[in-house]
């Protein structure tokens, strides 16, 4: 999206003229007034909020990323080129790997060395399929390098040992010629790798080992002491972030979990090395097992799912408040390192593969959650949508050599300018969208300012039936030009398919800038991102 391009500006004027036709004579609603004071800024919207999650699950890694050295699908060192190119455009800040539940049964030594010598193991969590271990440590870091991202490793606490995890980190990061560093060099990588983020366990209260908070805490302290990053370049400025397992939902036991970890962190002694974040897992699901369909749903299901997704805000607020008691300076972040929609598996797929379609509704879910994270940017500094390819709320779907970008992908791309931008508070009356006993805000608005001074607005219309007219006025800046895009589709459950890959794709926004401010027409069920230049 180029702010100075005259083409989107012209398109915006033309588009505005067609709004009356789209409304088919219905009495227009009064415009919703949004006021932005660009001189009032808040926290930085950490680019790590746009992290991805790639687990050994279904077709997330095998087929989605790794096609093998003999594949006819264009690839670089067995990693598919189309996927790499698409992900590069998202400026993915970090990729969490290898799980998920898979991480607590993963033994890294099985995934290094010559491919043909690697043992096949099982993946009991996800369909009981064979795990060939052909995508291991070096392949993951190659992939991360190809897409220009950073590694977020989850180490095995559930069925591993501190020694196994410590060895993995030494293997990866030691610069001195230790036996492990030499083994790494023999496997093709002489220089130490950079590991940006380390997760100590995953959902240790459940698939990660059914631990109590106290038991996990004792593990966390040991792993925090012994699992070290030796990379000389990461001792000060680029210090590896450590993420502890945190809460996973609304149950009272999770409040206790957060209390337990944070209380202990506050009273820590020198030998408990730094802790940078507590994870929070929260999926958009009305109840487990997920029964809502990812495509072919009605408006009631649309509203129920959006209502469920907005619960993210309360959950973050609840756990931030607990953290504030022990960490008022917000040194420990909340890392929402698993979030996204979780629907019933697509008919005909292995239920353990968590395959689902991705619709206009998911585009709204993505925008609404990112907006929530940004509003909590002082505490929420890392997030990972689940999952990157072919699993749950994916960016990308593949079918053999074919690849499509989902509506969620497009939202992540539209939001790239929000990475590292500074939050700007906005005032607006969200209005109401009511459906079958559910009342939701009709619109949502996020504003942020980037380093060049461009003010970015994200405008979401939740109402699937009525367009919304937004008039934004600016204080603290003079708005001189703009450009923007809108994402929507013909129906609430419109999706991209391998036959129609661009059914849901961004189009120029319908907007006009004049002395009164910026007027934007939001189509029903849409996400619009506009950059306004001073």
Which entry of 203, 304, 469, 485 is annotated as an active-site residue? 203
**What's the CA gap between 394 and 392, in Å, rounded?**
6
Nearest to 241 by CA among 118, 335, 111: 335
**Within positions 122 to 141, which residues make up the interface with ligand AHR, using CB under 6 A?**
none
CB of 35 to ligand AHR, least distance (A): 39
Provide the residue count of the chain: 534
| Measured CA distances, 272 to 170, 259, 267 (Å) | 19, 17, 10
338 is catalytic: yes
**Strand runs labelled E in 321-418:** 333-341, 380-386, 396-399, 402-405
The first and second tokens of residue 449, run together, are: 């300012």
CB of 125 to ligand AHR, least distance (A): 7
CB nearer to ligand AHR: pick between 65 and 479: 65
CB nearer to ligand AHR: pick between 245 and 455: 245
CB of 373 to ligand AHR, least distance (A): 18
**Within positions 24 to 53, which residues make up the interface with ligand AHR, using CB under 6 A?**
none
**What's the CA gap between 73 and 402, in Å, rounded?**
9
With residue 482 as reference, give the H or E element that holds it.
strand 481-487
Site size for ligand AHR, by CB under 6 A?
11
**What's the CA gap between 410 and 90, in Å, rounded?**
9
Options 149, 173, 202, 294; binder of ligand AHR; rule CB under 6 A:
202
CB nearer to ligand AHR: pick between 387 and 454: 387
CB nearer to ligand AHR: pick between 144 and 388: 388
The first and second tokens of residue 367, run together, are: 């925008």
CB nearer to ligand AHR: pick between 199 and 531: 199
Cβ neighbours of residue 194 closer than 8 Å, sequence gap 6 or more:
150, 151, 173, 231, 233, 234, 238
| Measured CA distances, 30 to 226, 361, 464, 521 (Å) | 61, 25, 17, 12
Give me the torsion for CA of 519, 523, 527, 530, rounded to 10°. -20
CB nearer to ligand AHR: pick between 143 and 339: 339
* 287-306 footprint of ligand AHR as x/- string (CB under 6 A): --------------------
* 52-71 footprint of ligand AHR as x/- string (CB under 6 A): ---x----------------
Binding of ligand AHR at residue 247 (CB under 6 A)? no
DSSP string for 105-165: G--GGGGSS-GGGPPPEEETTTTTEEE---S-HHHHHHHHHHTT--EEEEE--SSS-HHHH
Options 46, 131, 139, 338; binder of ligand AHR; rule CB under 6 A:
338
CA atoms within 13 A on the CB side of 238: 13
Contact 424, 449 (CB under 8 A): yes
CB of 267 to ligand AHR, least distance (A): 29
CB of 84 to ligand AHR, least distance (A): 22
CB of 55 to ligand AHR, least distance (A): 5
Query: Residues 77, 78, 82, CA angle at the centre, nearest 5°?
Result: 100
* 351-390 footprint of ligand AHR as x/- string (CB under 6 A): -----------------------------------xx---
Query: Residues 397, 402, 408, CA angle at the centre, nearest 5°?
Result: 25
CB nearer to ligand AHR: pick between 162 and 352: 352
CB nearer to ligand AHR: pick between 55 and 485: 55
203 is catalytic: yes
Options 46, 63, 170, 203; binder of ligand AHR; rule CB under 6 A:
203
CB of 356 to ligand AHR, least distance (A): 12
Burial of 127 (0-12, 13-18, 19+ CB in 10 A): middle
Using only the alpha carbons of the chain, give its radius of gyration: 23
Binding of ligand AHR at residue 246 (CB under 6 A)? no
Which entry of 131, 139, 338, 469 is annotated as an active-site residue? 338
CB of 61 to ligand AHR, least distance (A): 13
Binding of ligand AHR at residue 192 (CB under 6 A)? no
CB nearer to ligand AHR: pick between 207 and 233: 207
* 94-123 footprint of ligand AHR as x/- string (CB under 6 A): -----xxx----------------------
Buried/exposed code over 454-487 (b: 16+ C-beta within 10 A; e: otherwise): bbbbbbbbbbbebbbbbbbebeebebebbbbbbb
* Residues near ligand AHR (CB under 6 A): 55, 99-101, 202-203, 207, 338, 386-387, 392
**Could you give the residue numbers annotated as active site?**
203, 338
């Amino acid at each position: 999206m180029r702010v100075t391009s005259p083409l989107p500006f012209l398109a915006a004027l033309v588009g505005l003229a067609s709004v009356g036709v789209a409304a088919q004579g219905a009495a227009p609603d009064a415009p919703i007034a949004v006021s932005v004071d660009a001189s009032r800024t808040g926290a930085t919207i950490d680019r790590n909020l746009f992290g991805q999650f790639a687990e050994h699950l279904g077709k997330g890694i095998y087929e989605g990323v790794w096609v093998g050295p003999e594949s006819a699908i264009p690839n670089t060192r067995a990693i598919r080129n189309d996927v790499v190119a698409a992900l590069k455009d998202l400026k993915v800040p970090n990729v969490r790997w290898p799980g998920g539940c898979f991480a607590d049964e993963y033994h890294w030594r099985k995934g290094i060395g010559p491919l043909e010598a690697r043992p096949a193991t099982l993946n009991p969590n996800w369909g009981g399929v064979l795990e060939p271990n052909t995508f291991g440590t070096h392949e993951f870091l190659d992939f991360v390098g190809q897409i220009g991202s950073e590694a977020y490793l989850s180490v095995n606490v559930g069925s591993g040992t501190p020694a196994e995890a410590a060895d993995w980190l030494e293997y990866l990061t030691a610069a001195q010629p230790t036996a492990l560093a030499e083994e790494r060099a023999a496997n093709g990588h002489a220089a130490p790798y950079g590991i940006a983020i380390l997760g100590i366990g995953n959902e240790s209260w459940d698939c990660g080992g059914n631990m109590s908070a106290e038991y996990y805490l004792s593990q966390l302290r040991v792993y925090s002491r012994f699992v070290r990053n030796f990379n000389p370049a990461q001792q000060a400025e680029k210090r590896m972030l450590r993420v502890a397992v945190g809460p996973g939902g609304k149950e009272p036991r999770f409040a206790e979990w957060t209390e337990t970890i944070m209380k202990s962190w506050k009273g820590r002694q020198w030998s408990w090395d730094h802790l940078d974040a507590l994870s929070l897992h929260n999926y958009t699901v009305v109840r487990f097992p997920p029964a809502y369909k990812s495509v072919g749903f009605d408006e009631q299901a649309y509203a129920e799912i959006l209502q469920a997704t907005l619960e993210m805000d309360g959950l973050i607020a609840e756990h931030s408040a607990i953290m504030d008691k022990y960490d008022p300076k917000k040194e420990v972040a909340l890392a929402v390192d698993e979030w996204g929609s979780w629907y019933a598996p697509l008919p005909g797929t292995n239920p353990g593969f968590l395959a689902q379609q991705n619709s206009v509704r998911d585009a709204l879910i993505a925008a609404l959650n990112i907006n929530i994270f940004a509003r909590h940017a002082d505490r929420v500094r890392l997030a990972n949508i689940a999952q990157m390819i072919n699993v749950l709320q994916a960016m990308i779907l593949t079918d053999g050599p074919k690849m499509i970008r989902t509506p969620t992908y497009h939202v992540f791309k539209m939001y790239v300018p929000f990475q590292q931008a500074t939050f700007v508070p906005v005032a607006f009356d969200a209005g109401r969208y009511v459906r079958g006993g559910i009342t939701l805000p009709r619109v949502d608005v996020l504003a942020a300012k980037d380093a060049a001074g461009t003010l970015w607005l994200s405008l979401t219309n939740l109402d699937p039936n009525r367009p919304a007219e937004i008039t934004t006025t600016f204080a603290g800046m003079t708005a001189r030009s703009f450009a923007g895009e809108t994402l929507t589709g013909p129906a609430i459950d419109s999706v991209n398919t391998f036959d129609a890959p661009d059914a849901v794709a961004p189009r120029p926004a319908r907007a006009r800038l004049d002395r009164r401010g910026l007027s934007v027409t939001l189509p029903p069920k849409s996400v619009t991102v506009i950059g306004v230049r001073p």
